[in-house]
Amino acid sequence: MNSLTNLKSLQLDHNNFTGHLPHNICVKGKLTNLFVSNNHFTGPVPKSLKNCTSLRRARFQQNNLTDNIANSFGVYPNLDYMELRDNNLHGHISPKWGK
């Protein structure tokens, strides 16, 4: 899964997937929808998501992700929905998210 650089939508929700999410999931900035909720993903939020300005909708809830959300997420001008609940995330929500 680490070579899916032209991916626009990835829907893996409601499975029993484990392990880390692919680190370069949004390398070329084309990803608009990312749904990985209700799995057993662990580890940090993929670093490539920080600069993924194409992102519109993202659902990470009910996994075991551990990261500082202030450092993991960037500014998403097209974002209209993101759900992060039921993980092990910490930090504060950046005021940049409203931009």
- Domain of 32, CATH number, reads 3.80.10.10
Give the pair of three-digit tokens for residue 34.
């990312």
Q: Answer yes or no: is 1 within a domain.
A: no
Query: DSSP state, 98?
Result: G
In tens, the pLDDT along 28-62 reads 778 999 999 999 999 999 988 999 999 999 999 99
For residues 13-34, average pLDDT: 91
Q: What is the pTM of this model?
A: 0.88
Residue 89 within any structural domain of the chain: yes
In a domain, 4, yes or no: no
Classify residue 41: in a domain, yes or no: yes
Let me know if residue 3 belongs to a domain: no
Torsion angle defined by CA atoms of residues 83, 97, 43 and 85, in that order, rounded to the nearest 10 degrees:
-30
Task: Quote the number of domains for the chain.
Answer: 1
